[in-house]
């Protein structure tokens, strides 16, 4: 079995990360899951959280994702995200402002559709603030 596999993190506007890696942890809808070379086939939704890419048993890269889908094969793992950002580029103050705005939008919602959209935005912003901590 190989000791590395292809990992790609894709956002709507660009390819965020692509490289051969040793291990990755993805925030799946039913809990975080780790992927190593030779992993069984898997399709999963991705919840807001942190993707951690490991090299030599240490987190080499960390990305916040707002959600999406993950496809895993024995040779590769691809995450199609709705939004991705390197955690090194996240400003905690801006994340808190995003949460405040999302909470205001949720409080101002007048329809079920607006409330649902607001609840999702609040959940993503809360996860982003938590990722900054």
Q: Which contacts qualify for 55-62: CB closer than 8 Å, 24 or more apart?
A: 55/21, 55/22, 56/22, 60/21, 61/17, 61/86, 62/86, 62/87, 62/88
pLDDT in tens, the chain (133 residues): 579 999 999 999 999 999 999 999 999 999 999 999 999 999 999 999 999 999 998 999 999 999 999 999 999 999 999 999 999 999 999 999 999 999 999 999 999 999 999 999 999 999 999 998 8
Measured distance CA(71)–CA(74) in Å, rounded: 10
Can you give the pLDDT at residue 84?
95
Rg (CA), the chain: 16
């Amino acid at each position: 079995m190989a000791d590395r596999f292809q990992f790609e993190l894709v956002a709507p506007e660009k390819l965020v990360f692509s490289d051969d890696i040793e291990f990755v942890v993805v925030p799946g809808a039913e809990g975080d899951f780790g992927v190593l070379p030779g992993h069984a086939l898997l399709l999963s939704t991705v919840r807001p959280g942190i993707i951690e890419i490991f090299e030599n048993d240490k987190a080499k890269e960390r990305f916040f994702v707002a959600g999406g889908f993950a496809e895993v094969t024995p040779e590769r793992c691809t995450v199609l995200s709705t939004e991705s950002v390197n955690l090194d580029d996240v400003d905690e103050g801006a994340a808190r402002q995003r949460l405040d705005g999302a909470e205001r939008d949720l409080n101002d919602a007048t329809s079920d559709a607006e409330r649902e959209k607001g609840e999702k935005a609040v959940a993503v912003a809360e996860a982003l603030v938590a990722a900054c901590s």
